[in-house]
Amino acid sequence: MQHAAFLALAMAGACVAADSHPKAFPLPAQDGVALIEWISASTFRFCRAWETAPCKPGADREVEVEREDAGARLRFRTKYLHVDVDKATLRVSVRTPEGPKLLEDLAEVRRAEGAVVIERSAPAGERFYGLGAHSHESADLRGTAMDTTKPFLMSSRGYGLHHASPGRYTFDLARKQSDRYRITVRGARKIDYYFHFGPSPKEILEEHKEVAGTPDILKEWQLGIIAQTQLPAYATPLPATLDASWESLCDSVRMMAHASLSGIPLPAFDIGPYQSNSLALYRRALQLAQVAPVVFTSSTAPADAEMLVMDERAAQARRRWLPFFLTYADEARLRGLPMLHSLPLQFPRDHEASKRADEFLMGDEMLAAPVCTEDGRRSVYLPMGVWTNWRTNKVYPGRQTIEIEAAEDELPLFVKNGAIVPAGPRSGPAPMELHYFPKLASEFFLFEPEVSDYTQAHANPALDLWRLEMAPKVDRTYEWVLHNLPAPGRVWEGETVYRRVQDRHSLAPGCWYIDEASSNIHVAVRTLKGKTNIVHLGQ
Count the Cβ atoms, other than its own, within 10 Å of residue 227. 12
Positions in the chain short of pLDDT 70: 1-22
CB-CB contact of 151 with 163 (8 Å): yes
Round to whole Å and give the CA distance between 32 and 38: 21
Q: Work out whether the CA dihedral 483, 489, 493, 499 comes out positive or negative.
A: positive
Amino acid code (one letter) for 59: A
- 405, 311 in Cβ contact below 8 A? no
Domains belonging to the chain, first-starting first, are 4-212 (2.60.40.1760), 220-335 (no CATH), 341-412 (2.60.40.1180), 419-538 (2.60.40.1180)
pTM for the model: 0.92
The H or E element that residue 533 is part of is strand 533-538
**pLDDT at residue number 242:** 81
Determine what percent of the chain is predicted with pLDDT higher than 70: 96
pLDDT of residue 327: 96
d(CA 138, CA 158): 19
**Tens digits of residue pLDDT in 19-61:** 444 588 999 998 899 999 999 999 999 999 987 778 988 877 8
Give the model's pLDDT for residue 11.
Answer: 28
